[in-house]
Structure 1
């Protein structure tokens, strides 16, 4: 088969699209004929190299995909060849206490397909059957292949960890990215007043289409000052921040007393000043969130499948143009997800 792969960490020039051994289904695995896959920022981090993460080389990236079941292992009963499926990328050991309690993201052995083990940017991918969900007929492959990671991540951030409530005010940073544009839609669906930031007026118009009530161009405006002005110096109830060091201080400044910031990542760096004086004086909460439980993922994706939520696709490229796809993510070009399709499907 043909697969996206790299044999060393580095810049985009380490990426190749070429021959790779066909996968075989283990006892509890399914081989999927991939129809569409999508990129996330973690693909960039994985390619560059993550501290403490050692990969089997060559590595196939990719944590989002959808396709048709091609083969099932002898222990698989949930799926059969021909079924339409999408990937849920988070994996935890089946004997973990947190897995048994329904929250595998807290397991000590939790890992992510595509980040810690070989991923799905290939013509075929072998994945645990437990990490697949059915995709209804009529759902486009580009939608099915780009929704899972960002919508489940944003759903857990806002609904489970952030405990969003109708009538609250929510600031979503980086609303043009995958998690950001999903968070805007989820916050709007929850009945919140939604503030959103992005770097261009065009991206802000897209954010409004996704449900943002107020928008702020962070390239030209101080978003913390803009929030204080817009809320009569009160601040918002919640900030959704997946950007990290570059925005953390202003995220805290944007909160009302007793407010909360929820974070799932740090694309600009993981070690900002803690801001403890502001946290204790204003009694703020800083809440971490990673991926989602299977139940949370199902809740989020059901609302994608029925059209309530819509993953926006900024571009669709053949997998052989994977370096260009990475470039779009790194340079923050466009709004929403970048989808890649096996060249054999074009």
Structure 2
């Protein structure tokens, strides 16, 4: 089979397309013929050796996959050979075949095409786990989404509105913010052109923001935290800005606020029943037309390095997807 390979840690341009051996599933594993693989920000880090997971070289990046079951290992009951499925792995998705843990593989809804399916699990799974399980977002509360035009950010905007919150979308350009408006954001903030803390205080009548979802980090974290309400929840999703921020610990004390880590992949592995329930809820909303993943561009497998490069340099609104022939 063909696969994108990382033979040495480095930029996307160092990735190569190679022929590798076909795969075979073991117990409680599913072998998928990959039809599409979504690109996520951790993909830009793992190939550089900057992610918390460091696979042994060489390896195949890619984690958000959709395709057809080729074979199943002993103990797999919920899917069969020939089923259309979606799933996720730590890495290995940018290939014509991938092995999935059975608990990370789900039937694909019939109306959902493969590129959409491959753009769905990690973005919406992360955003929903963050808002529901970690942030306890309630109807009537105010939600700030940093990096709101990205995959997780845009999903959080859409889900936040679905959950009854007032949503403030913050992003780096007016063009990106216009997409956030289309996805339901009530207020838009270009954080390159405004003082974030002052703008948030003004928008909330100085009450502050109840929940912040932050996949960005960097210089925006502290002013966002300073604009939080009493008993606010700050959801730490990632550091797309490239810098891990430091928060003065007197701020959580003075605001009675919480800094809450969000690691959806670990949650999905350690709490498979709860994750399956979240996934069913998301799939139901999709089937009802209440969720609509935004795909910026679709690439061929041999173009996967360009897809990762586009995400790395923040040229993407929503998701980019690699589709197999």
Q: Fold-level match, TM-score > 0.5?
A: yes
Deviation at 1:269, TM superposition (A): 4.6
Q: State the distance in 1 between where 2:48 and 2:24 align.
A: 28
Q: State the distance in 1 between where 2:311 and 2:284 align.
A: 27
What number of residue pairs does the alignment pair up? 316
Counterpart for residue 19 of structure 1: 19
Structure 1 residue runs of 4 or more that deviate by more than 4 Å after TM superposition: none
Q: State the distance in 2 between where 1:52 and 1:313 align.
A: 27
1:158 to 131, 141, 159: 131
Counterpart for residue 142 of structure 2: 169
User: Does residue 336 in structure 1 map to residue 318 in structure 2?
Assistant: yes
Counterpart for residue 123 of structure 1: 96
Counterpart for residue 295 of structure 1: 277
Q: State the distance in 1 between where 2:233 and 2:304 align.
A: 37
Deviation at 1:52, TM superposition (A): 6.2
User: Does residue 67 in structure 1 map to residue 59 in structure 2?
Assistant: no
CA contact (8 A) 2:236 2:261 kept: yes
User: Does residue 83 in structure 1 map to residue 65 in structure 2?
Assistant: no
Greater shift after overlay, 291-300 or 256-265?
291-300
Deviation at 1:29, TM superposition (A): 1.6
The 1:323/1:304 distance shift into structure 2, 3 A limit, reads: same
**Residue ranges of structure 1 left out of the alignment (5+ in a row):** 90-112
Q: State the distance in 2 between where 1:42 and 1:56 align.
A: 16
CA contact (8 A) 1:227 1:254 kept: yes
Q: Deviations over 1:86-125 (max 9, x none)?
A: 0044xxxxxxxxxxxxxxxxxxxxxxx21xxxx2111111
The 1:219/1:326 distance shift into structure 2, 3 A limit, reads: same
What does 1:217-256 align with in structure 2 at a 5 Å threshold? Answer: 217-256=190-229
TM-score by length of 1: 0.87
User: Does residue 4 in structure 1 map to residue 4 in structure 2?
Assistant: yes
CA contact (8 A) 1:35 1:341 kept: yes
**Residue ranges of structure 2 left out of the alignment (5+ in a row):** 268-274
CA contact (8 A) 1:147 1:301 kept: no
- Secondary structure of residue in 2 paired with 1:48: coil
Counterpart for residue 140 of structure 1: 113
Counterpart for residue 185 of structure 2: 212
TM-score by length of 2: 0.93
Please tell me the root mean square deviation across aligned C-alpha atoms, in Å: 1.6
Deviation at 1:198, TM superposition (A): 1.2
